[in-house]
Amino acid sequence: MPGLAERIAAAAGVQSAEVRPLGGQHGYAHATGTLSDGRTFFAKSAFAKSVQESGGPAEALAAEANGLRWLAAADGGPPVPAVLGQSDGLLVIELVEPPEHPSPAAARRFGSELAHLHAARLNPPTFGAPWPGYIASLPLDNTELPDDTVLRDDTVLRDDTVLRDDTVLRDDTVLRDDALLPDESVPPDHTVPPGTRLPSGTTARTGWGSWYAERRLLPYLRRARDAGALSRAAAAPLEAVISRIGDRAGPPEPPARIHGDLWSGNLLWQGGRGWLIDPAAHGGHRETDLAMLALFGAPHLAAILTGYAETAPLADGWRSRVPLHQLHPLLVHVCLFGAGYAPQLTDTARAALAAG
């Protein structure tokens, strides 16, 4: 079997590579080095046993590569390391070096660029992604929720409803609470006023709140409970949030192109800009990335938020929804690292409930 240097060179399409091992974590070996054409790189390789497993680190590297390319496709967004090569169980990307301490100006610029990333058009405009997702070593279900809502006469659509062109509505359907219409025929903000009557021929699908509960909260709640990392009592506030998700999710917004795991360790500063690495990218809610930055203390967070708001103001009440968006990353930490994160998770769930 070829050695790591040979595999890296083959994946990157060059003759050879000089490799410097860095250790590893979450089932990967890490390395940096220089390709024979002079480009410097960072590489992750799944441990040999993991490559043979169904899913796991090898599939996670494919998800990371997909996410990096997808984020890089957004005009005006933060810089993203180029994917230099990928093969089964191996990812080679551009090395971001040397790291810098960010200035307030760099943080403000990053906030503006993050807003541009979130606003980049999605096709199709759906929550999730067309590839199996991962966050660290844990799988993420990126599939859409099924469109199984049948709307009949006098149906009333409330907070967490999003409509699209293949919706079939009856003549007397009434739309309330500013449901979204991702259709160019509606106003630029994609909303219609409460009480609007919609004509026939415009089918319904669930919005972000239901998607977040079904694809992010419930799977990890079950995993944590099954592992014994979360007691019944500790899980109760989170279960209450899930049961009231429509009241807690805030005003509907279209899916945004988000990083999905934007804690400060996945934000590198170089050349006066913030670079995005190690994404769990998908179509999600833009407040999720901002809440994740706040969770573990991004540098100059106030400047980041200022730059963001100058470019794309957030919906009213967004600060009160920060705990809701922090529940998934905290659940991930409980699943990865155990019950030590359970008190913070429970307190955050209580804060999300109180915010309603």
Cα separation, 122 vs 70, whole angstroms: 10
**Using one digit for the tens of pLDDT, what is the confidence trace for 267-288?**
999 999 999 999 999 999 999 9
The domains located in the chain, with CATH, are 4-94 (3.30.200.20), 104-144+208-354 (3.90.1200.10), 152-206 (no CATH)
Strand-strand pairing, 174-175 and 156-157: parallel
Angle among Cα 185, 189, 190 to the nearest 5 degrees reads: 45
Both structure tokens of 135: 């966050």
124 cis-preceded (ω within 30 degrees of 0): yes
DSSP category for residue 223: H
**Using one digit for the tens of pLDDT, what is the confidence trace for 149-202?**
444 444 445 444 555 444 444 444 544 444 444 443 443 333 445 555 554 444
Per-residue pLDDT band for 67 (boundaries 50, 70, 90) equals very high
Cα separation, 140 vs 66, whole angstroms: 14
Taking the model in full, what pTM does it have? 0.83
Tell me the average pLDDT across 306-312.
Answer: 98
Tokens 């967490």 — which residue? 160
Pair 172, 208: CB distance under 8 Å:
no
